[in-house]
Homo-oligomer: A and B are copies of this chain.
Amino acid sequence: MRDVAIVGIGATQFGELWNNSFRSLGIEAGSRAIEDANLSGDEIDALYIGNMSAGRFISQQHIDALIADYSGMATNHIPATRVEAGGASGGVAFREAVIAVASGLHDTVMVGGAEKMTDLDDASINSVMDATADAEWEAGMGLTLTSLYAIIARRMMFEGTVTREGIASVAVNSHFHGALNPGAQFRKAIPIETVLKSGPVAEPLGVFDCAPITDGAAAVILCPLEDAKKYTDKYVKVSATSQASDTLALFQRPDITTFEATRVAAKKAYEMAGITPKDINVAEIHDDYTVSGIMALQDLGFYKKGEAGNAFLNGETHFDAGKVAINTSGGLKARGYPVGASGVAQIVEITEQLRGTAEKRQVKNAKYGLAQSVGGTGSAVTVSILEAI
């Protein structure tokens, strides 16, 4: 298999974008990535799209064709493929695109992620999100996705591996970085009290423990590593991308305080890249809920079980702390969480960091970056590792 490089990135503003349609968001992100890669749309020979539920959010299935069409690429009749894996949709789309280039089948491939969520009312949005839990054994029984994560949080606190403050500090870290990212939905740092005192959603989790509802899109352009220089000097290498699954329902797992799919995907990714967790300088993790951030740091091997809460509390996760910088984009919590776009947006942020173009939130001398994207309650996880060249 060939080595693969990222030669272009683009993202829209994330937020409640009442004036933008799904189509306009997809086009904006794609155009920016094409421009960034110094190529023309004609040079792209395949398209992968991560999207969770345009079928329910905007009554449009078949958005593979929609995006190919509205980006002008349908005139070349290139293959366009939509993948869905709940919250991991963007991560899985990225992986499929990397495989397409690595295999030699395609040369220049665009990966897009997009979601337009705010066209629905809140109750309907929640019902779509809950559809990533097990419809028969969880959602059908009244368990929302938030309540499932609350159960995880309760269990971790009961076992004594994290405090409520440790959990809350995941959101503090994300908002700290969101304030430094002009593209983020929430650009204001918050004290831990804001999280602790926020209205309860499913206790112990409050409003500030949950990622927001967001519209947005992101795009990335891939090509064989050996061709990258033709387009740009600021390319990065895709050193690994892996994916793992787990039971759909949480109750079927032997231990609900760890996501085995993260552990399996991470182990494979480190092997592929030939590195260890210690080599990672910056990581985008899937903090759809604060407690997910605690699990991520432990399951990815950055911290031992019981230590992640303190790492967030102490600010070790900040971009300038000299450890693994976590969610410098603001993460899902502060940058925003347009579901299918998030996995691709993570790749955009890591690429910025490895290029040295992350401005106020730039991690110094970042060599290796990692992105973790999660579907449901850890039922699908992708882990990708990028490397500065």
> What does the 1/0 interface line of A52-83 toward B look like (CB < 8 Å)?
11011011111011101110011001111111
Q: Which residues from 79 to 131 on chain A have a C-beta closer than 8 Å to any C-beta of chain B? A: 79-86, 92, 95-96, 99-100, 102-105, 127-128, 131
Residues of chain B with a CB closer than 8 A to A136's CB = 21, 23
Distance from A104 Cβ to chain B, minimum over Cβ atoms (Å): 6
Contact A79 B135 (CB under 8 A): no
CB pair B243 A62 closer than 8 Å: no
Q: How far is the CB of A205 from chain B (nearest CB, A)?
A: 21
For the complex, give the distance between the alpha carbons of A59 and B139 in Å.
9
Partner of A61, one of B23, B53, B78, B82: B53
A261: Cβ under 8 A from any B Cβ: yes
Distance from A173 Cβ to chain B, minimum over Cβ atoms (Å) = 27
B74 and A247 within 8 A (CB): yes
Q: Check if A26 is an interface residue, CB within 8 A of chain B.
A: no
Does A329 have its Cβ within 8 Å of any Cβ on chain B? no
Given the interface pairs A62-B376, A85-B64, A105-B102, the reply to whether A80 lies near B135 with Cβ below 8 Å is: no
With both chains docked as a complex, state the minimum distance between the C-beta of A69 and any C-beta of chain B, in angstroms: 5
* Contact in complex: A244, B77 (CB < 8 Å): yes
Q: Does A245 contact B (CB under 8 A)?
A: yes
Query: Quick check: is A1 within 8 A (CB to CB) of the other chain?
Result: yes
Q: Are B261 and A60 in contact (CB under 8 A)?
A: no
Chain B hits for A265, CB < 8 A: 77
A132 close to chain B: CB less than 8 A? yes
Q: With A69-B248, A245-B69, A380-B65 known to touch, is A56 a contact of B56 (CB < 8 Å)?
A: yes
Decide yes or no whether A264 CB sits under 8 A from chain B: yes
Task: Decide: B85 and A83 in contact? CB cutoff 8 A.
Answer: no
Contact B246 A74 (CB under 8 A): yes
Number of interface residues of A (CB under 8 A): 65
A296 to chain B, nearest CB (A): 17
Chain B contacts for A379, CB-based, 8 A: 62, 65, 69, 74
Q: A60-B135, A379-B69 are in contact. Are A81 and B77 (CB under 8 A)?
A: no
- Give the residues in chain B near A284, CB-CB below 8 Å: none
Within 8 A of B (CB), among A221-270: 242-249, 252, 260-261, 264-265
Complex CA distance for A134 and B68, rounded to whole angstroms: 13
Q: Is A375 an interface residue (CB 8 A)?
A: yes
A92 surroundings in chain B (CB, below 8 A):
64, 81
The reply to whether A62 and B85 contact each other, CB–CB distance below 8 Å, is yes
Complex Cα distance, B73 from A132, in Å, reads: 18
Complex CA gap A95/B61 in Å reads 19
Question: Is the pair A245, B103 in contact by a Cβ cutoff of 8 Å?
Answer: no
Residue from the set A53, A103, A139 with the largest chain B CB neighbour count within 10 Å = A103
For residue A349, give the distance in angstroms from its CB to the closest CB of chain B. 23
Among A66, A92, A252, residue most surrounded by chain B Cβ atoms (within 10 Å): A66
Known: A78-B245, A100-B99, A260-B77. A128 touches B55 (CB 8 A): yes
A74–chain B nearest beta-carbon distance, Å: 5
Asked whether A131 and B59 contact (CB < 8 A) given A73-B245, A248-B65, the answer is yes
Q: Give A135's nearest chain B residue, CB to CB.
A: B60
* Assembled-state Cα–Cα distance A86/B53 (Å): 13
Can you offer 13 A-B residue contacts whose CB atoms are under 8 A? A60-B134, A60-B135, A61-B84, A62-B248, A64-B245, A64-B375, A65-B379, A66-B134, A69-B245, A69-B248, A77-B264, A79-B95, A82-B83
5 A-B pairs with least C-beta separation: A103-B103, A65-B379, A62-B86, A79-B243, A60-B135
